[in-house]
């Protein structure tokens, strides 16, 4: 059958066969490699985008971490809060404060009782129930010193009862029995 073809037809047939072989080789080898290369380029672009986002996140995280450390140092140096590391130590600090102030202002501490701690935002509230006895002007001085000093302390549930007491200088002196809750705050340890 090929012998019956003219020279021109044989050349065209050879060209068609060459073209078909070239297309088959291209389809079987080069086209898949080209598609795979496109897939890899898309994957590389996606991963570079993710890498850029992660690098920005790391930079923001480092900045936030340094800001957090700075705020922790600032909070630790802040005199407005109790410096103790545990609630029991903070309650002992409060007891020391109330005994020191009451002694210097002429009040007598009858008792202190530690109440359960409360959690508020990033702080732990440490509360004492305090019973004291003394004169009105001394009580006012103690209350003023407690609420205006540092660390910040808060009085709550104040109960004042009056009673007369015999004195050497005067026949009777009005004494006050005072009961109140004293709360101070310490930062939550993180």
Q: In this predicted model, what pLDDT tens digit does every residue of 72-129 receive, in sequence order?
A: 777 666 677 788 778 888 888 899 999 999 888 888 999 999 999 888 888 888 999 9
* Per-residue confidence (pLDDT) for residue 174, from 0 to 100: 76
pLDDT at 28 over 80: yes
What's the total number of domains in the chain?
A: 2
User: Is 23 among the domain residues?
Assistant: yes
Q: Does 114 share its domain with 33?
A: no
Query: Which of 74, 98, 126 lies at the terminal end of a domain, its last residue?
Result: 74
- Residue 34 belongs to what domain range? 2-74
13: Cα separation from own chain's centroid: 81
Q: Does 58 share its domain with 7?
A: yes
Alpha carbons 82 and 75: distance in angstroms, whole number: 11
* Per-residue confidence (pLDDT) for residue 62, from 0 to 100: 83
Q: Does 66 share its domain with 93?
A: no
| Mean pLDDT along residues 58-73 | 84
Q: Does 91 share its domain with 70?
A: no
User: Is 80 among the domain residues?
Assistant: no
Q: Write the pLDDT tens digit of every residue in 171-188.
A: 566 788 999 999 998 887
DSSP 121: T
Query: Are 126 and 94 a contacting pair, CB within 8 Å?
Result: yes
| Mean pLDDT along residues 33-62 | 90
134's enclosing H/E stretch is strand 123-134
């Amino acid at each position: 059958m090929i012998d019956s073809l003219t020279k021109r037809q044989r050349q065209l047939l050879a060209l068609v066969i060459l073209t078909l072989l070239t297309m088959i080789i291209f389809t079987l080898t080069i086209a898949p490699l080209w598609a795979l290369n496109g897939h890899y380029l898309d994957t590389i672009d996606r991963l570079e985008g993710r890498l850029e986002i992660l690098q920005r996140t790391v930079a923001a995280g480092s900045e936030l971490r340094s800001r957090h450390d700075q705020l922790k140092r600032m909070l630790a140096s802040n005199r407005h809060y109790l410096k103790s590391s545990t609630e029991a130590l903070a309650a002992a600090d409060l007891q020391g404060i109330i005994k020191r102030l009451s002694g210097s202002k002429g009040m007598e501490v009858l008792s202190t009782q530690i109440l359960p701690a409360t959690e508020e935002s990033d702080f732990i509230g440490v509360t004492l129930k305090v019973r004291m006895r003394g004169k009105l002007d001394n009580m006012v001085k103690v209350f003023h010193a407690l609420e205006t000093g540092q660390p910040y302390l808060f009085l709550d549930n104040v109960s004042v009862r009056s009673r007369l007491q015999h004195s050497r200088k005067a026949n009777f002196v009005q004494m006050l029995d005072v009961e109140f809750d004293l709360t101070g705050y310490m930062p939550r340890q993180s």
